């Protein structure tokens, strides 16, 4: 039996058990309305705080997962803050980032950092990404794919640095998706949206925690207060 036949058989069995044909106008209308209006689900109370409280909750959640979090007063101070973190991590003054317009404005001349652009290479030690938004609800960065911030930067280098403007910090996942839809427009969403809440970790083998099992072993987040 072909994979298409298998699929049809499975969907047919589901429809039969549900007593649905799949072509009912009411059912199609409800699906269309949900897609067009993107209604939000229940938003937890902890996602509804003001910006200062969201920052505190977001920071505490990340730090509990072993993430380094640095608050930076503005973009001008960001290269220096990144240079300091690289030195603290005893890493070379090199990093790779995508074509994000915000990252392109950074002036590295007062640092020793050498930057390269594009998708990550296997020998890259450090990558730099910009999170288009994040959620304080669970301390989660939201990273979208594309040339501005290639997804390989999120997974290949052992150290991942992420920039988040505090104005882009949302309370809940629902708000984050509203923001993504507003940025990209319906029908133009990125092919991949990655949620990152900490460095890669696994305890699958003998319940021993291992960092960097399937991604970066270090994650540092820079919260930038203003443009």
| 8 Å CB contact between 152 and 124 | no
**pLDDT digit string, tens, across residues 45-96:** 776 778 999 999 999 999 999 999 999 999 999 999 999 999 999 999 999 9
β-pair type (126-130, 94-97): parallel
- 139: which DSSP letter? T
Does an H or E element contain 223, and which?
A: strand 218-224
Distance CA 66, CA 200 (A): 10
Put simply, whether the predicted model's pTM sits higher than 0.75 gets the answer yes
**pLDDT digit string, tens, across residues 64-73:** 999 999 999 9
Which has the closest alpha carbon to 123: 97, 149, 150, 95?
A: 95
Distance CA 118, CA 98 (A): 5
């Amino acid at each position: 039996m072909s994979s298409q036949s298998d699929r049809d058989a499975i969907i047919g069995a589901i429809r039969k058990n549900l007593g649905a044909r799949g072509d009912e106008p009411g059912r199609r209308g409800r699906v269309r309305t949900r897609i067009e209006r993107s209604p939000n689900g229940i938003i937890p109370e902890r996602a509804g705080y003001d910006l200062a409280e969201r920052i505190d909750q977001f920071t505490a959640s990340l730090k509990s997962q072993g993430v380094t979090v640095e608050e930076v007063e503005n973009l001008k101070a960001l290269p220096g803050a990144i240079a300091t973190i690289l030195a603290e991590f005893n890493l070379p003054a090199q990093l790779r980032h995508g074509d994000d317009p915000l990252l392109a404005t950074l002036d590295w001349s007062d640092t020793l950092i050498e930057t390269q652009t594009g998708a990550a290479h296997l020998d890259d030690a450090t990558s730099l990404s910009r999170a288009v938004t994040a959620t304080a609800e669970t301390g989660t960065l939201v990273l979208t794919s594309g040339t501005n911030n290639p997804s390989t930067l999120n997974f290949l280098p052992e150290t991942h640095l992420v920039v988040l403007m505090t104005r882009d910090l949302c309370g809940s996942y629902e708000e984050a998706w509203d923001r993504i839809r507003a940025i990209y427009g319906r029908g133009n969403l990125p092919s991949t949206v990655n949620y990152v809440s900490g460095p890669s970790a696994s305890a699958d083998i003998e319940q021993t925690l291992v960092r960097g099992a399937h991604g970066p072993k270090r994650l540092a987040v820079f919260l930038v207060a203003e443009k």
